[in-house]
């Protein structure tokens, strides 16, 4: 059996390019999109250690076709650099929904489901050491029945399904998208750190402090993750670590 995980940087980059080419080709089937340019792709190195997941692009993101470049995006990128010592160019930044909802309203469950395969594939290709969710919508992808006010800034280990492709399919050249019935689902651990959305951080002095305090923890959390042994087994589906 061969894991569909890709290890080599150029293959990962190519896989991401192909993923978005495919999405653009099929833009008419997507909710919210009226033209190819409505799609705001994820941005960053394909082998990034950290994957940030926001909610959906806004006006400026759609104009530039880049995630987090508007007011809250500038606050997010500044906090990342100044408080965590990490440049925006070192991380991969994406969204739950890749097209701007009208008037920046909350994404609907149907819209989230429609873009799920793309985000799942981004996670699989990048295989980041840490996923940081920004806001409650991306948090809900990994953590059920929790309040962001209670779990923000706390690291979670989440069991996550990994798509494995059988050698039989590979030998026959069956494309991954057509091999669903023959795919074997396995699970692996993902580290997820829920954070407030930067727009919430801009709302009040207290929220800003909280947002900044969480970002200051990132280097220590990454160091802690890198020191974990891959073989370590865990008792519960979601295990919480105190940071």
Residues that bind ligand URA (CB under 6 A): 54-58, 61, 67-68, 70, 72-73, 95
Q: Determine contact, residues 229/218, Cβ cutoff 8 Å.
A: no
Query: Which lies closer to ligand URA via its Cβ, residue 57 or residue 165?
Result: 57
User: Closest distance between ligand URA and the C-beta of residue 227, in Å?
Assistant: 31
User: Closest distance between ligand URA and the C-beta of residue 96, in Å?
Assistant: 8
Query: Which lies closer to ligand URA via its Cβ, residue 100 or residue 217?
Result: 100
Query: Which lies closer to ligand URA via its Cβ, residue 58 or residue 88?
Result: 58
What is the 8-class DSSP label of residue 231?
T
User: Closest distance between ligand URA and the C-beta of residue 132, in Å?
Assistant: 12
Query: Which lies closer to ligand URA via its Cβ, residue 61 or residue 124?
Result: 61
Q: How many CB atoms lie within 10 A of CB 85?
A: 12
Strand 184-195 vs strand 155-165: parallel, antiparallel, or unpaired? antiparallel
**H runs (alpha helix) in 9-127:** 9-25, 59-64, 71-84, 109-126
Query: Which lies closer to ligand URA via its Cβ, residue 6 or residue 93?
Result: 93
Name the token pair of 163: 């798509």
User: Closest distance between ligand URA and the C-beta of residue 164, in Å?
Assistant: 31
Query: Which lies closer to ligand URA via its Cβ, residue 61 or residue 157?
Result: 61
Instruction: Classify 198 as helix, strand or coil.
Output: helix
DSSP-assigned states of every residue in 132-171: EEESHHHHHHH--S--HHHHTT-EEEEEEEEEEE-HHHHH
User: Closest distance between ligand URA and the C-beta of residue 172, in Å?
Assistant: 40
What is the 8-class DSSP label of residue 227?
T
CA distances from 117 to 30, 48, 96, 230 (A): 12, 20, 10, 26
DSSP-assigned states of every residue in 23-54: HHHTGGGSSS-SSGGGB---BS-TT-SEEEEE
User: Closest distance between ligand URA and the C-beta of residue 189, in Å?
Assistant: 26
User: Closest distance between ligand URA and the C-beta of residue 73, in Å?
Assistant: 5
**What residue number has its CB nearest to ligand URA?**
54
Query: Which lies closer to ligand URA via its Cβ, residue 122 or residue 165?
Result: 122
């Amino acid at each position: 059996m061969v894991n569909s995980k890709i290890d080599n940087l150029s293959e990962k980059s190519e896989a991401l390019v192909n993923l978005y080419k495919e999405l653009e080709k099929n833009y008419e089937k997507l909710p919210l999109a009226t033209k190819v340019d409505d799609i705001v792709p994820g941005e960053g190195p394909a082998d990034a250690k950290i994957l940030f997941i926001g909610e959906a692009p806004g006006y400026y993101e759609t104009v530039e076709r880049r995630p987090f470049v508007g007011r809250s995006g500038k606050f997010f990128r500044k906090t990342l650099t100044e408080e965590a010592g990490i440049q925006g160019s070192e991380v991969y930044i994406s969204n739950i929904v890749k097209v701007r909802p009208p008037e920046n309203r909350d994404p609907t469950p149907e819209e989230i489901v429609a873009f799920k395969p793309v985000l799942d594939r981004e996670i699989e290709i990048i295989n980041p050491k840490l996923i940081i969710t920004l806001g409650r919508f991306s948090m809900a992808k990994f953590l059920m029945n929790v309040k962001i006010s209670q779990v923000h800034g706390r690291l979670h280990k989440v069991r996550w399904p990994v798509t494995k492709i059988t050698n039989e399919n590979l030998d026959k050249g069956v494309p991954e998208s057509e091999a669903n019935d023959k795919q074997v689902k396995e699970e692996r651990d993902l580290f997820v750190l829920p954070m407030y959305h930067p727009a919430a951080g801009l709302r009040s002095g207290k929220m800003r402090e909280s947002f900044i305090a969480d970002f200051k923890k990132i280097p220590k959390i990454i160091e802690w993750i890198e020191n974990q042994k891959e073989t370590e087994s865990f008792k519960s589906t979601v295990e919480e670590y105190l940071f």
